[in-house]
Chain A
Amino acid sequence: MKTVPADPKGVDSGPHFMDGDHAIAEGALAAGCRFFAGYPITPSTEAAERFAERAPEVGALFIQMEDELASIAALIGGAWGGQKCMTVTCGPGFSLMTENLGLACMTETPMVIANVQRGGPSTGLPTLTAQQDMMQARYGPHGDNMIIALCPDSPQECFDLTIEAFNLSEFYRVPVIILTDETVGHMHEKVVIPPADQIKVVPRNNYSGPKEDCRPYKFDSQGGHPMVRAGDGYSFHVTGLTHNERGYPVMTADQNKIVVTHLMEKINGNADKIIRLDEDQIDGADVVVVSYGITSRIAVKAIQDARKEGIKVGSLRMITIWPFCEKRIREISAKVKAIVVPEINYGQMVLEVERNAGGRCKVISVNHCGGAVHDPQVILDAIRKAIQ
């Protein structure tokens, strides 16, 4: 990925005391996002508010659309209009967005969506935390498609990962979802925004060659293919129908195979380059706690307590949720007695862990319904149970 230093205009360098939502908005501005179409929904609204407040001074545009359907649709238009775009939402809004998330995947439109998760289903728990949209982020839209999802565990990481999300989104031309949660979104912590020249951003890559060679798509299962910008004179066509590289509809089984294979493989095939994990003392461990987001910070206490008891516990924190770290889980499962998976849902990512562990070790789900984080004692109990 070719990167350039960030535009200083969007970078509010220095130490800040801010919540995760505000950090997402700041990360977006630092990454060069200049168009934000949002719709208010607790607990993500603060990010939209921050962007709306900062937009005039940065030279960006904020619009509050009529609903989430329109917000994400406007991002598709905005991206083909030449801007880096983002929106924020949570479960109920994300459900509405899945429609055009599918269109964005199909048309390979770069955009960043932050889902500050709250308890569900339906209206659920508007002001309380959860990690219940993990599978929806991956499988929400109908049809086969693949996205990238990142999971920050602190306001600082909200800032950092938003920049990373934009970079991945621009390179792979895919919607990237920041799957944070209410706790991180509303948690105030120190956030250090580095100077602009230390922030690396992937700039929008717009096609500039001859018109006859212009192809909005290239089905080679790779990233790095340029966008075509409206107004540049290429008369591009973009459709949600199964299409050829020129963008024209070709509705055949053969073409669907070509398109879907590309959409899946450009992410899955490059999973090693995309996936970021935070590992601690996995070598020689008997038990590994696989966690993500706010739950990983709760798990730290349980892991420390277990180690005091003499249990060899490793930690694997998934920063990248999708694509899933299949290879690493397969490796770990061959070496440990058990994997413990705490998460604030009825057991979602544990399914992926189980699938990849393939029976080579025990997989223990420490599930927890929405509304609150785990009591570390519950995770500790699971670790103890794991080595029995």
Chain B
Amino acid sequence: MSTELGKFKEGSPMSSMLRMERMPHIWCPGCGIGSEVNSFAEAVKRSGIDPKKLVVVSGIGCTGRVAGYVNFDSIHTTHGRAIPVATGVKLANPELTVVVFSGEGDLSGIGGNHLIHAARRNMDLVVICNNNFTYGMTGGQVTPTTPSSAMASTTPYGNYEYPFSLPFLMDAAGATYIARWTSMHSRNVTQSIEEALLRKGFSFIEVISPCTTLYLRRNRLGDGVDMLQHYQENSILKHGCDTRETAIDYQGKIVIGKFVDKNKPTYLEASDKCSIKLVGDDYQLYGKTIPEREAEEKAEKERIAARRAAMAAVEAQGEAAPAKPRKASVPKAAVKKAPAKAAAAPKAAKKTAAKAKPVKKAVAKVPAKKAVAKATAKKAAPKATVKAKVVANAAKTKFQGKVMPAKQALAGTKKAAPKATAKAKAVSKKTRK
């Protein structure tokens, strides 16, 4: 089955970035990790960096499996230890770009000490943190970021702990780039990862994401689409926001944006500076002097710039000939119309239509209008339609012995997508930690 699917998807634009022979992946339908990986792959492509010089390190958990699906050098480590392993890779070969892709339980729970110390050292790493408020792979336990009062399997009467706000934690620890998005803001996620890949220093990108199978279901919050709508309605874009104001309450507002972007010498730069004082200009690390390494870095930067220029040229060509590429099918004029289209599609479901309205507001707030509007236009339409069907089908459904109204039933039932449920079950059985 995996081979067939691999063949089927070979034509996908990201196939060169993914280990297609490892598909299908383990993530549940509606989970945000898949779209984050897609954003990541696109960011790598757009950044122009050499994929051969990219290393992805993951910890344990659902997000920990990312390392196994990306077609780069990748290390799947023990629980919480992705950052120190990545630190080792980066320090052993400073030419490499090292990305840590893991979940919030892995990074800020068991690996919390490593997270803050890598930020403190300004270790040259890109950390992508999938924050779904739950330990997914072990069955939905409470994590350091689970909002107060949320249900988890180990807080069956509601979470009474105080959660971390990760951007605040990272800011206090000294991270030099901090951004937060939700898995709905995939264009922004891509953009942030691209920026982080091209900059030096410790970059932390948090992506709030739905865990459909566990967090959403246990808290009766609907399915993945409901959550994306929640993100759309409740995200507040505040670039440069004081990170003290980024706390997330249960189903409350989510402050998103790029909060911190500053320059500070990285660990290696600081170490070089200290060593050159001691040893003099002859100082070498792994047999290379600082000017030699700087020259190599400069050459690599030029190669990256050339790749980016080449890509920009191809894109410009594409825009000049609007018939061919799909991007051209959403010209500027269509941007305004797009949300209206999305709202118009599922006329049958009033609820959905009502929910789709705030799209315009959200779009108006976001400065990167074009990108978000495009994403909204594409996503909102088909998903809203699916939602409408689901609502219609599941008017009344039994879940855990209780009869629930349609909205709640959505959270419990999977009747509308029996295949997906079976797969999810099989997968969760197989992959339990």
Asked if A316 CB lies within 8 Å of chain B CBs, one says no
Q: Decide if B52 is an interface residue (CB 8 Å cutoff).
A: yes
Which of B72, B80, B81, B92 is close to A235, meaning CB atoms less than 8 Å apart? B72
* Interface contact B89-A251, CB-CB below 8 Å: no
Bin the interface of chain A by size. 35 or more
Residues of B within 8 A of A158 (CB): none
Question: What is the CB-to-nearest-CB distance from A322 to chain B, in angstroms, rounded to a whole number?
Answer: 22
Contact call B279/A56, Cβ cutoff below 8 A: yes
Contacts of B92 in A (CB 8 A): 35, 61, 77-83, 85, 230
Residue of A nearest to B284 (CB): A59
A70 at the interface (CB under 8 A from B): yes
From residue B27, how far is it (CB to closest CB) to chain A in Å?
A: 15
Tell me the interface secondary structure of chain B in the complex. helix
Cross-chain contact B91 with A74 (CB below 8 angstroms) = yes
Q: Choose among A61, A67, A73, A83 the residue that contacts B77 (Cβ–Cβ < 8 A).
A: A73
Q: Render B224-261 as a binary contact track against A, CB cut-off 8 A, 1 for contact.
A: 00000000000000000000000000000000000000
Known: A77-B89, A239-B68, A248-B22. A231 touches B113 (CB 8 A): no
Q: How many residues of B contact A (CB 8 A)?
A: 46
Q: Which residues of B contact A73 (CB under 8 A)?
A: 77-78, 81, 84-85, 87-88, 114
Residues of B within 8 A of A235 (CB): 19, 71-74
Which residue of the partner chain, among A37, A85, A231, contacts B93 with CB atoms under 8 Å? Answer: A231
The 8 Å CB contact of B87, one of A55, A77, A82, is: A77
> Does any Cβ of A come within 8 Å of B283's Cβ?
yes
Whether B93 and A70, one on each chain, are in contact in the complex, defined by CB atoms closer than 8 angstroms, is no
Given A74-B87, A75-B88: A248 touches B68 (CB 8 Å cut-off): yes
Cα distance, A73 to B75, chains bound together (Å): 11
Alpha-carbon separation in the docked complex, A370 to B57 (Å): 41
A65 interfacial by beta-carbon distance below 8 Å:
yes
Taking the nearest CB of chain A, how far is it from the CB of B5, in angstroms?
Answer: 16
Are B84 and A230 in contact, with the CB atoms below 8 A?
A: no
Task: Report whether A240 and B91 are in contact in the complex, using a CB–CB cutoff of 8 Å.
Answer: no
**With A56-B275, A59-B287 as given contacts, are A100 and B91 in contact (CB-CB < 8 Å)?**
no
B96 to chain A, nearest CB (A): 5
Which residues on B sit within 8 Å (CB–CB) of A69? Answer: 80-81, 84, 113-114
Is residue A241 within 8 Å, beta carbon to beta carbon, of the partner chain? yes
Contacts of A309 in B (CB 8 A): none
B157 at the interface (CB under 8 A from A): no
Collect the chain B residues with CB atoms within 8 Å of residue A99's CB: 78, 81
A143 to chain B, nearest CB (A): 12
Q: Is A103 a contact of B77 with CB atoms below 8 Å?
A: yes
Which residues of chain A (245-291) have a CB below 8 Å from chain B? 248-249, 251
Q: A237-B68, A240-B76, A240-B77 are in contact. Are A63 and B91 (CB under 8 A)?
A: yes
Q: Is B402 positioned at the interface, with any CB of A under 8 Å from its CB? A: no
Min CB distance B240 to A, Å, is 29
Q: Is B76 a contact partner of A74 (Cβ separation < 8 A)?
A: no
Q: Are A82 and B93 in contact (CB under 8 A)?
A: yes
Min distance, Cβ B115 to any Cβ of chain A, angstroms: 10
Instruction: Known A56-B278, A69-B81, A249-B68; judge A77-B57 contact (CB<8 A).
Output: yes
Q: State A30–B12 Cα separation when bound (angstroms).
A: 50
B113 near A77 with CB under 8 A, answer: no
CB pair B81 A238 closer than 8 Å: no
Given known contacts A237-B19, A238-B74, A251-B430, is B95 in contact with A231 (CB within 8 Å)? yes
B387 within 8 A of A: no
A67 to B86, CA, bound (A): 15
Q: Are A231 and B78 in contact (CB under 8 A)?
A: no
User: Considering the chains assembled together, what is the distance between the CA atoms of A69 and B114 in angstroms?
Assistant: 9
What is the distance, in angstroms, from A141's C-beta to the closest C-beta of chain B?
Answer: 10
The answer to the question of B45 belonging to the interface, with a C-beta cut-off of 8 Å to chain A, is no
A248 to B71, CA, bound (A): 12
Digit string of B5-44 for contact with A (CB within 8 Å is 1, else 0)? 0000000000000010010000000000000000000000
- What are 12 A-B interface contacts by the 8 Å CB criterion? A37-B88, A59-B283, A70-B87, A73-B87, A73-B88, A76-B75, A81-B91, A83-B92, A103-B78, A103-B81, A230-B93, A239-B76
Q: A77-B87, A237-B67 are in contact. List 8 more A-B contacts (CB 8 A).
A: A60-B285, A63-B267, A69-B81, A80-B75, A81-B96, A232-B52, A239-B75, A240-B76
Chain A to chain B: the 6 pairs with minimum beta-carbon distance, closest first:
A77-B88, A81-B92, A74-B88, A73-B84, A70-B84, A239-B76
